Amino acid sequence: MTDLQMGLMGLGATAVIVVLAYNKWQEHKHRKLAEQLLNARQADVLLDETLPGEMPASSPAQPEPAARANTRKGRERFDPLLDGGQPAAAEGMPDERTSGTGRIPAFLAASDPVILADDISPELEATVGAGELPGPREIGTPLHVLSPLIDYIAALEFSSSVGAYRLRETQRVALQRIEKAINWIGYNEESNEWDLIADDSDRAYRHVRIGLQMVDRRGPLRSSDLSIFDVAVHDLATELGGLAELPLRETALEAAAELDQFCAGVDIQIGINVISQGQVFAGTKLRALAESAGMVIDPAGRFARCDDDGSVLYHLVNQEDKGFSAEAMKSLTTHGVTFLLDVPCVASGDSVLSQMFEQARRFADSLHGALVDDNRHPLSEKALEPIRRQVMQYQAAMSARHLAAGGPLALRLFS
C-alpha cells in the first residue's frame, strides 16, 4: 500500500470522525434549546387542555349565555315560499359527540391539541366561541383572528424574541401559494396579551401562533395547501432557531371536510323581490328611497343597510346586470330590485328578516311595484312566517357549533 493510499485513508477516517462529532454537537445544541423552550413555555389556551371544572383566575363562574339568534348568505338561494317543515339543511347537520368533559363539536377530534369550548368556563367559552383569544394567563384584548374551531394552528416557540418583520418575511413566498387565509399572532410579554402581527409591526415575539383557516366559501382546506403550510412553518422555525408544534394533518383535513359540510348546510340567502308593474323604476327614486332608509352604496354596486356598529344587515341589488353607483343612478332604470339577507352573516336573523320585509314593502308601495318571491308569486307577511322559523333553526344550529351567525368566526367562514 502506497503512502498516497495511506494518506487518503487517514483523511477519510478523519472526515468521518469530524462529521460524527458535528452531529453530536448539533444534537446536544437542539436538545438544550428544546428544553429551554419547553420549560419556559407559556400556558396556551389553544394548545393546553383545561381540566374539567378548572377556570382561569380572571374568569369567575357565570350563568351560561343564552343562545344567540343569527343569520347568513350562501351556496344556495332560499325561496321565501316553503312549507313550514324542518329545513333539509338543518336535518342534515352533523351530529355532536360527547366526552367526559361535555359536548364536543363533531369537526374537532377529542385528541386534537386544542382546547374545546366545553372544557372552559362560561365566560371563557363566550370569548373563544366568539373568536376572541385569551392570553396565556388571563383574558386579553379581544382578537377575532384565530380560533381552534376554524383554524389549523401552528405554535412556534423561540429562545429569544424575533422581530415581526422577520417572522412574516421568512416564508412569505411559500405561504402566498396557499389559497386560504393565514393569520399571525404573538404574545406580548409587556401587556400579557396576544397581538395581531402585522407586516409593519416593530415588535418582537418569543411565542407565536400561525392560523391557517380550514374553510371558506370556496370549500375546505386542500391537502396540498396544508402540506405547503406545514413545510413552511417548520422551515421558518429552523431558520429562526425555534421549534414548531402542529396538529395532526389527517385530523385537520377530516375536520375541514366536516366543517365545510356543516357550513354548506346553513349557507343560504333569502331574497325578497320588488318588481315593476308596467312602469320601470327610476334610479333617482330608488336612490332617494334607499338613502332615506339609511342605506349606502358599497364597492360591489349594492345598497347596504348597516346597524349602528357598521355591520351589514342586508343588501339591495339590481335585478338587471348594471350595478348601483352614485353617478349611474341619475340615468339608471330597472324593472326590479331584490333585498338580500345573507343568513349566516347576520345576527338575530329573524328580526332582520322582518325589518327587510317591511322595507321591501315600503319600496313596493312607493314605486307602485309588487312584492314577490323568486317564482313571481305574491309575497305576504303570512307567507314569510315559515321562513322566519327556519332562519331561527339555522341560527340555533350555528350557535350550537359555537359559530354564532353574524359573529367574527361566521364572517370569516362565509367569506
Task: Give the CATH number, domain containing residue 375.
Answer: 3.30.1400.10
Q: Please give the biggest Cα pair distance in the chain.
A: 109
Q: How far apart are the first and last CA of the chain?
A: 75
Cell of residue 35, nine digits: 428544553
pLDDT of residue 84: 33
> Cα 374 to chain center, whole Å?
30
**Is residue 407, in this structure, part of any structural domain at all?**
yes
Degrees to nearest 5, angle at CA 343 with 146 and 119: 40
Which is nearest to 392 in space by CA: 266, 261, 219, 260? Answer: 266
**Is residue 293 included in any domain, yes or no?**
yes
- Return left, alpha or beta for 406; rule: phi > 0 is left, psi -120 to 50 is alpha, else beta: left
125 near 117, Cβ under 8 Å?
Answer: yes
What is residue 166's three-state secondary structure? helix
Distance CA(232)–CA(167), nearest Å, equals 11
Task: Answer yes or no: is 279 within a domain.
Answer: yes
> How many folded domains does the chain comprise?
1
Q: What is the CA radius of gyration of the chain?
A: 27
Residue 404 lies in a domain: yes
Beta-bridge partner residues of 182: 212
Closest CA to 69 of 389, 414, 408, 412: 389
In a domain, 185, yes or no: no
Reference 153, options 206, 201, 113, 207; nearest CA is 113
Cα separation, 329 vs 326, in Å, equals 6
Report how many helices (DSSP H) and strands (DSSP E) the chain contains, helices first.
11, 19
Within a domain: residue 229? Answer: no
Q: Domain for residue 389, yes or no?
A: yes
Confidence at residue 374, expressed as pLDDT on a 0 to 100 scale: 86
Q: On the CB side of 260, how many CA atoms lie within 13 Å of its CA?
A: 16
Segments in the chain below pLDDT 70: 1, 19, 22-144
CB atoms near residue 271 (< 10 Å) = 21
Q: Are 162 and 242 in contact (CB under 8 A)?
A: yes
**Could you read off the pLDDT of 175-215 as tens digits, one per residue?**
999 999 999 999 999 999 899 998 888 999 999 999 999 99
3-state secondary structure (DSSP) of residue 214: coil
Task: Report helix, strand or coil for 396.
Answer: helix
Which segments of 180-328 are extended strands (E)?
A: 182-188, 193-196, 204-213, 215-216, 219-220, 242-245, 268-275, 281-282, 295-297, 303-306, 312-318
pLDDT tens-digit readout, 139-181: 333 346 789 999 999 999 999 999 999 999 999 999 999 999 9
- pTM of this prediction? 0.68
- Domain extent for 391: 265-413
| Phi, psi at 378, each rounded to 5° | -55, 140
Whether 341 maps to a domain, the answer reads yes
